[in-house]
Amino acid sequence: MPIGFLVYNHDARSEAYDALKELFRPSHADYTWQMKYGIRDHRGGGRASAREHIARVVAGAIAKQYLSRQGVAVHAYTSRVGSVQLEPEYAPWELPCREDSLIGCPDREKESEMVELIRAVRRAEDSIGGVVTCVIRGVPPGVGEPVFDRFQARLAHYMMSINAAKGFEYGEGFRAATMKGSEHNDAFRPSSGGVTTLTNHSGGIQGGVTTGDEIYFRVAFKPIPTIGLPQQSVTTSGEEIELRASGRHDPCVIPRVLPVVEAMAAMLTLDMMLEGGYYPLKINEK
């Protein structure tokens, strides 16, 4: 049966957005949705608001319960805020790390730098971008489809549907473009009960299908476009205007976007396992 739920927003203050009714905020969906639909809801950003992601997080939480029975776990962590980069970025970090961390970075020192940067940006009434790394552990070999619905293709779709996402890469990602085959290839070795690889540059997927290794990927997020600093903009009637955002807005999608990345990754993994008929998940199975 379908699972339905309602999340009431008791803290909405629609009137705080009155000033935005007649103008287009830079790098928001205001202008494009107006062009597409001829109408838009300026209050709280309407449906373009990241509030929409609450539904994804709820659904992802259900997917995670299912996956955990299959031994699959999904962990997202903060690997970059602005210029502060976690090093090494993909490593056997102790995960999950979100519980006892301010912004979900597995390295305490780097986390401090990141938090400091976010605070400085907030004081400057500006915003800053970041990168989330996510690891999916325990997916068996053979999940994913061979041509259009490769695991990584669908995963990219799911990730790039998150607000503010600007880039997706898995395994070595863009770094693979600078590598030679002799560096990037994952050599096979015999192992008990099958084969294994000496490295996992590939990120746990070959030919669109999972290898059984850890799947890891990164999603880049732009700086949140709502800033207190003055910006040039235009009203809906075409006049120049200087815009200074007031009210509630975060200086960085980090750490709020971490559960969204996890939720989308969990749903993708479950979807592909079910669609591929790989795991006949049974109702009432313990």
Place of tokens 């205007």: 241
Q: Are residues 215 and 170 in contact, defined by beta-carbon separation less than 8 angstroms?
A: yes
Spatial contact of 155 and 268, defined as CB atoms under 8 Å apart: yes
Applying CB under 8 A, among 126, 137, 214, 271 the residue interacting with a second copy is 126
Q: Which is nearer to a second copy, 26 or 138 (CB)?
A: 26
Report in angstroms how near the CB of residue 285 gets to a second copy at its nearest: 9
**Residues 168-197 contacting a second copy, CB under 8 A:** 168-174, 176-190, 194-195, 197
Q: How does DSSP assign 14-75, residue by residue? A: GGGGGGGTTEE-TTSSHHHHHHHHS----GGGGGGSGGGHHHHHHHHHHHHHHHHHTT-EEE
Cα separation, 135 vs 96, whole angstroms: 10
Q: Return the range that interacts with a second copy (CB under 8 A); candidates 8-16, 64-72, 98-106, 269-277.
A: 269-277
Rounded CA separation 236/248 (Å): 23
Residues of this chain, 224-263, that bind a second copy according to CB under 8 A = 224-227, 229, 231-234, 238-240
Which of the residues 202 through 231 are near a second copy (CB under 8 A)?
A: 202-203, 205-212, 218, 220-227, 229, 231
Q: Which of 156, 258, 260, 270 binds a second copy (CB under 8 A)?
A: 156
Is-contact 160 168, C-beta < 8 A?
yes
DSSP 223: P
Smallest distance, Å, CB 139 to a second copy?
Answer: 11
- Tokens representing residue 241 in the block: 């205007």
Task: Name which of residues 59 to 118 contact a second copy (CB under 8 A).
Answer: 80, 82-83
Q: Is 198 in the site for a second copy (CB under 8 A)?
A: yes
Provide the minimum distance between the beta carbon of 249 and a second copy in the complex, in angstroms, as a whole number. 10
Cis peptide before 259 (omega within 30 of 0): no
- Smallest distance from the beta carbon of 15 to a second copy, in angstroms? 21
Instruction: With beta carbons less than 8 A apart as the criterion, state whether 233 and 244 touch.
Output: no
**Minimal distance, residue 74 CB to a second copy, in Å:** 19
Per-residue x/- track, 129-148, a second copy (CB under 8 A): xxx---------xxxx-xxx
Q: In the chain, what is the straight-line distance between the N-terminal and C-terminal CA atoms, in Å? A: 19
In whole angstroms, how close is the CB of 222 to a second copy at the nearest point? 4
Residue 187, CA atoms < 13 Å, CB-side half-sphere: 4
Among 118, 158, 216, 268, binds a second copy (CB under 8 A): 158
Minimum gap (Å) between residue 118 Cβ and a second copy: 11
Burial tier of 71 (Cβ tally within 10 Å: 0-12, 13-18, 19+): exposed
9 binds a second copy (CB under 8 A): no
Identity of the residue, 94 or 158, whose beta carbon is nearer to a second copy in the bound complex: 158
- Count of positions on this chain that bind a second copy (CB under 8 A): 115
Nearer to a second copy (CB atom), residue 97 or residue 117: 117
